Chain A
Amino acid sequence: MGGYGDVQLLRDDGSRLDGRKLDEMRPVKIEAGVLPAADGSAMVTHGLNVAVAAVYGPMEAHPRKIQRQDRAVIDVRYNMAPFSTSDRIRPGFNRRSREISKVTAEALESVVLVERYPRSKIRVEIEILAAEAGTRCAGITAAAVALADAGIPMRDLIVGVASGKIEDTVVLDLDKAEDNYGQADLPVGILPNTGEIAFLQMDGDLSPDEYNLAMEYNFKAAKEIHEIMVEALQKRYEGGEA
């Protein structure tokens, strides 16, 4: 059974409660350039999650103490809207949003060619409009598309994906019930072209075999999401606008 008593997360036929297969992702939709005031922006709909990312800069880094003489700093602000969940979230920063902002900034710093913009700052704002487990992954994916849309040079388009364990079974892309009552969650930031991992967190326990299977699912999903990201960017500009 799951991590919390008698909650049943898998049907008798082995499929999940929402009818997905074990290695099936929720539907993903990506749109680039949704905010006209930002230098680059994107909206990611991942299942019931809706994440909007806006990128501003590169600009002079303020306050000056955050400036780095040899590279740019990436300033990420991840925030969940008060109406994004069924229980109202108190507006403003909290421990969780600070943590996610930090890990997202570190993940993005590993792909952005930060050495091109010494002493500068690239501001990334991630706003979660609707949440249903996996918001940090949706936020990272949205930020990557927004950075590309803003013309920021990067080694690759980073993709946020997650796998986990429910009822001793490894599954891809946990939904809300699976996240709340499951046994483990493994969100990862993957660079699909090189296969590198830019960030990895794990909540719960996985055996080595389970971990390998979860990563296999993550890499497969990252390839699929990467194709959608590229399509979203191409759709915006290949129609004639440039």
Chain B
Amino acid sequence: MSQGQNGAEQRLVTPGMAIGPSAGKRAGSGIITEQETMIATQLGWLQEKNNTMSVHPIHSAYMPRSGDLVVANVAEVRNNLWFMDINGAFQGLLPMSLAPWKVEFGAARQHMDVGNVVLARVQEVDECHNVVLTMKGVGLRRLNQGAVESIPVQHIDRVRGDNNSLLQRLRDACDCRIMVGENGRVWIDGDSKGIAWARKALQMVAEKGHTTEFEAILAEMEQEKKGDA
């Protein structure tokens, strides 16, 4: 039995696959322990970090957690609240008390209507998946310009890179503002050429970020962008 990921070697695990004895190790996400054996519950790559085994899933749905920064679309408006599509199984609820404006009862639509896009934070998630969002906080606002690109939720870490290194590289290359929501939506703001390049680059990172030729492809794209500018 493999004891997890060693260097460049990655192990693809399927649900039900025994990973190894649980003694001395902690079960992280995508792993359960049954009869002192760790068992994978999701299809994905096995990872070991700080003595914790986890599965980095190949596909996953967005599960909101308190504190997540999300790019949300207004899906429904009521007198005193907005329902937001946060790319998850359930809509998020933004009450007028957590909006950045002073909203009169019945005037919610004057501030934000269906189809508007906002940068919000997840305030609270209860055990029944009721999600409450807030727009009170630094940088949280309605997004009136730019473009939103969707990437698979499981590839967000890949887009960010270590300490946001890759994200900063993309920002520098296209000279755009880029905000990555935990819900797989990325907001890009800049000139149209920069936005187009950033969208292409984001899709490329999501699709090829784990391959050996990734660095060469990105360098080539950066070179092309410099040539255009």
Which A positions have Cβ atoms within 8 angstroms of B?
Answer: 39-40, 57-60, 69, 111, 113, 117-120, 147-157, 191-194, 229-230, 233-234, 237-238, 240-242
Contacts and interface: CB of A to CB of B under 8 A. Distances in A.
24 contacts: A39-B59, A39-B61, A58-B61, A60-B91, A117-B89, A118-B127, A118-B129, A119-B90, A148-B43, A149-B43, A149-B59, A150-B59, A151-B59, A155-B16, A155-B32, A156-B15, A157-B14, A191-B16, A193-B18, A233-B12, A237-B12, A237-B43, A237-B58, A242-B58
Contact of A233 (B34, B41, B43, B211): B43
B41 A154 contact: yes
B128 A151 contact: no
Interface string B51-84: 0000001111100000000000000000000000
Contacts of B123: none
B12 A238 contact: yes
Nearest to A57: B89
Contacts of B197: none
A151 B14 contact: no
Q: Which of A58, A151, A156, A230 has the most CB of B within 10 A?
A: A151
Interface in B21-41: 30, 32, 34, 39, 41
Contacts of B211: 240
A154 to B, nearest CB: 4
Given A118-B127, A119-B90, A234 B15 contact: no
Contacts of A156: 15-16
B210 interface: yes
Interface residues of B, number: 30
Nearest to A58: B89
Instruction: Tell me whether chain B's interface is mostly helix, strand or loop, or mixed.
Output: loop
Contacts of A229: 14
Given A60-B91, A155-B32, A241-B207, 12 more contacts: A113-B32, A119-B128, A147-B15, A148-B43, A151-B42, A151-B44, A151-B60, A154-B41, A156-B16, A229-B14, A237-B12, A237-B43
B114 interface: no
Interface of B: 12, 14-18, 30, 32, 34, 39, 41-45, 57-61, 89-91, 127-129, 154, 207, 210-211
A151 B58 contact: yes
Instruction: Tell me whether chain A's interface is mostly helix, strand or loop, or mixed.
Output: loop
Contacts of A147: 15
Nearest to B42: A153
Q: Which of B41, B42, B127 has the most CB of A within 10 A?
A: B41
B39 A193 contact: yes
B89 A60 contact: yes
B45 A242 contact: yes
Given A60-B90, A151-B58, A242-B210, A193 B17 contact: yes
A118 B63 CA distance: 11
Contacts of A119: 90, 128-129
Contacts of B61: 39, 57-58, 151
A134 B43 CA distance: 27
Given A60-B91, A154-B41, A157-B15, A120 B129 contact: yes
Nearest to A39: B59
A155 B15 contact: yes
A24 B144 CA distance: 65
B57 A151 contact: yes
Contact of A155 (B30, B41, B43, B57): B41
Given A149-B59, A193-B17, A113 B89 contact: no
A58 B59 CA distance: 12
